[in-house]
Amino acid sequence: MRTIYILWLRQIKRYYRSKSRIIGSLGQPLLFLLAFGFGFGPIFQKAGQGNYLQFLTPGIIAMSIIFSAIFSGIEIIFDRQFGFLKETLAAPVSRVSIMIGRTLGGATVSTMQGLIVIGISMLVGFRFNSLLSLLLALLFMLLIALLFTALGTAIGSLMQDFHGFQLIVNFLIMPLYFLSGAIFPLQGLPKTLTTLATINPLSYGVDGLRGALLGTAHFGLLIDFSVLSGLSLIVIMIGAYLFSKVQI
């Protein structure tokens, strides 16, 4: 447990030492929030769907979390190339503990990113139902962060260079995001898109956030929680196995 705590704390300190990284990780979510929220808002409202900024914000929160979480995996490649990973793995502790500590640290940082986005979105007009709904949303944010941090760790354990990691992540994450219902409702979609959205794990994260903050869930909060919890556990186990096989 001490190893997990130390690595968790190290990941948080490591991230927040870099102010440029914090600002950079918020750039894309804020661009989507402002450009889409105010650009498509009148069209969304004319279609009888209500306030688009309210609808969009949970999806933007999810975006800030998944990009921060998945790219925590690139730190494994960085540490491997510069020798830091060798020092960590040489310690007399299990690799599973190291992986869990790194994953919890990355997930904590990603959840903090999501909280920052919530604060900024409130400045431009977003409102959630109650303090209890915010606490429930925090649970879903943490589950999303755990899932995608573990996924990033699994991918990073298999990759040897930064460019390959970025290509795979962009090929994987962008389709997952755009097919999650983050920027458009899942109701009334063509059958193919509905099927893709249903098997997309991020759909349940976005839906859980929207249900927690606004009280409108497409799948249902219990289903969202169950799917995210189960997938997070599975991906953490896969990530732990792949990390245990990392060659220095």
pLDDT digits over 188-209, tens only? 888 888 899 999 999 999 999 9
Give start and end residues of each alpha helix (H) in 48-188. Answer: 52-70, 74-82, 84-89, 95-123, 131-158, 162-178
Q: What pLDDT score does 54 carry? A: 87
* pTM (2 d.p.): 0.88
What is the rounded distance in angstroms from the CA atom of residue 76 to the CA atom of residue 85? 7
What is the rounded distance in angstroms from the CA atom of residue 50 to the CA atom of residue 34? 17
What is the rounded distance in angstroms from the CA atom of residue 72 to the CA atom of residue 239? 13
Q: What pLDDT score does 13 carry? A: 63
Q: What pLDDT score does 76 carry? A: 74
Q: Give per-residue burial for 122-136: e unless 16+ CB within 10 Å, then b.
A: eeeebebeeeeeeeb
Termini Cα distance of the chain? 25
Q: Which residue has the tokens 């950079």?
A: 24
Rg of the chain taking only CA atoms, in angstroms: 18
Spatial CA neighbour of 59 closest among 179, 152, 171: 179
Which residues of the chain are modeled with pLDDT < 50? none
Burial of 35 (0-12, 13-18, 19+ CB in 10 A): exposed
**In a 3-state reduction of DSSP, which class is residue 94?**
coil
Q: What pLDDT score does 69 carry? A: 85
The residue count for the chain? 248
Listed by start position, the domains of the chain span: 2-244
What is the rounded distance in angstroms from the CA atom of residue 184 to the CA atom of residue 191? 15
